[in-house]
């Protein structure tokens, strides 16, 4: 990372974000329990040898070795949705080790903003009822004076929603054909607004690189208190190619980094702004790393908070899900610090 000027507030944000990411990398790379878990999962899933797979402190070695946690890459090389991941079953002793590490690295429990007054709250997109519960937690933080903002931005994509996902989402998801519409429904239900067709703009940009079609939508209205309620549908604008277990795979939809990139189109977040993102607890570390990397590059201070599944009466995440999100943390840290 280039040397930054000491007195520039935007570069100060970039510096603080970068230093935070480096501390996270060091914590992962120097954790002996994580190294032993990587070895043991590799032995169980792929019959790897019994030697420890990297030296403590070697983040690149850790990142490469953590591919054994991946259950989303399919045999044909495509990367599936979380709901379609391979099912992994572990012994109770392994389950306990996984959950202990998940707690240590912040994938469990409720969190709240360290700074209450912010320029925008970002409700991060997701599947099923995630947009609804994330909107509910955002509203809860605001109603209990733990978060204060005049701008709420829902980040989504045009990922298709099928009948099974509508059923998982419940009543609020009825009629939604894609993630953007799920977030429209969540915004309307939780913040009491109603988007008209005239509130939604669509646009294309033929100049995007890699010949990936660029299609985006932005919906904007205000709630009864005058707060701006914005819903964004992001296209794929970041690199769609990733390496899993030594094989190249391609994403078929926008991801968290793509939705962060779309924030450049929203005037509410200019360099020097402070934003808080709201998600599920097990996504906080990886989406936080992406936020610090993506938004930090724009000079925006970023913090991600989340809620435990028990907050809304849902079961705890499985060991398989927690392993996948530990890998996502390492992926995000590697991208954000290049």
pLDDT digits (tens, 9 = 90+) for 297-320: 888 898 999 999 999 999 999 999
Residue 98 lies in a domain: yes
Residue 323 lies in a domain: no
Per DSSP, the three-state class of 265 is helix
Question: What does the angle CA 190 – CA 196 – CA 198 come to, to the nearest 5 degrees?
Answer: 140
Average pLDDT of span 43-54? 94
Residue 332 lies in a domain: no
- Cα–Cα distance measured from residue 307 to residue 282, given in angstroms and rounded to the nearest whole number: 8
Give yes or no: residues 308 and 168 share one domain.
yes
Domain of residue 282 covers: 120-313
CB 106 within 8 A of CB 24: no
Q: Among 73, 104, 135, which residue terminates a domain?
A: 104
Alpha helices by DSSP H, listed for 66-200, are 92-104, 130-143, 163-169, 179-191
- Cα–Cα distance measured from residue 138 to residue 140, given in angstroms and rounded to the nearest whole number: 5
Residue 113 lies in a domain: no
CB 123: neighbour CB atoms within 10 A? Answer: 31
Q: What is the pLDDT of residue 244?
A: 61
**pTM for the whole structure:** 0.85
Give yes or no: residues 19 and 86 share one domain.
yes
Give yes or no: residues 290 and 158 share one domain.
yes
Q: Among 43, 72, 104, which residue terminates a domain?
A: 104
Token pair in block for residue 337: 């610090």
**Above 90 in pLDDT, residue 38?**
yes
Residue 115 lies in a domain: no
Give yes or no: residues 261 and 134 share one domain.
yes
CB 98 within 8 A of CB 322: yes
More confident position, 8 or 199: 199
How many whole angstroms from its chain centre is CA 135? 15
Q: What is the pLDDT of residue 1?
A: 41
Across the chain, the runs of DSSP E, i.e. the strands, are 120-124, 151-157, 200-204, 215-222, 228-234, 241-244, 247-250, 274-280, 301-307
Residue 306 lies in a domain: yes
Domains contained in the chain, number: 2
Q: What is the pLDDT of residue 239?
A: 66
Token pair in block for residue 283: 């996504």
CB 133 within 8 A of CB 280: yes
């Amino acid at each position: 990372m280039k040397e930054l000027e000491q007195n520039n507030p935007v570069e100060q944000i970039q510096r603080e974000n970068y230093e935070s990411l480096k501390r996270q990398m060091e914590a992962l790379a120097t954790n002996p329990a994580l190294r032993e878990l990587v070895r043991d999962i590799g032995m169980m899933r792929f019959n790897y040898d019994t030697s420890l797979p990297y030296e403590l402190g070697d983040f690149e070695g850790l990142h490469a070795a953590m591919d054994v946690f991946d259950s989303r890459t399919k045999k044909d090389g495509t990367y599936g949705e979380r709901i379609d991941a391979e099912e992994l079953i572990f012994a109770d002793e392994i389950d306990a080790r996984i959950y202990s590490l998940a707690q240590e690295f912040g994938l469990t429990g409720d969190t709240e903003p360290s700074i209450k007054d912010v320029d925008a709250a970002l409700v991060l997109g997701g599947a099923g009822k995630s947009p609804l519960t994330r909107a509910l937690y955002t509203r809860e933080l605001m109603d209990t004076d733990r978060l204060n903002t005049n701008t709420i931005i829902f980040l989504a994509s045009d990922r298709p929603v099928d009948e099974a996902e509508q059923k998982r989402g419940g009543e609020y998801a009825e009629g939604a054909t894609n993630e953007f519409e799920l977030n429209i429904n969540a915004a309307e239900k939780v913040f009491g607004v109603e988007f008209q067709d005239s509130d939604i703009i669509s646009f294309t940009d033929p100049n995007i690189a890699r010949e990936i079609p660029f299609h985006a939508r932005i919906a904007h209205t205000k709630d009864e208190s005058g707060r701006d309620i914005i819903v964004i549908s992001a296209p794929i604008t970041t690199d769609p190619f990733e390496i899993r277990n030594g094989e190249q795979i391609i994403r078929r939809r926008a991801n968290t980094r793509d939705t962060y990139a779309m924030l450049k189109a929203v005037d509410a977040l200019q360099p020097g702004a402070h934003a808080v993102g709201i998600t599920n607890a097990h996504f906080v570390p990886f989406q936080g790393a992406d936020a610090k990397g993506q938004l930090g590059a724009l000079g925006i201070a970023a913090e991600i908070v989340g809620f435990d599944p028990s907050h809304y009466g849902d079961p705890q995440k499985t060991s398989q899900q927690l392993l996948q999100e530990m890998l996502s943390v390492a992926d995000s840290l590697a991208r954000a610090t290049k």
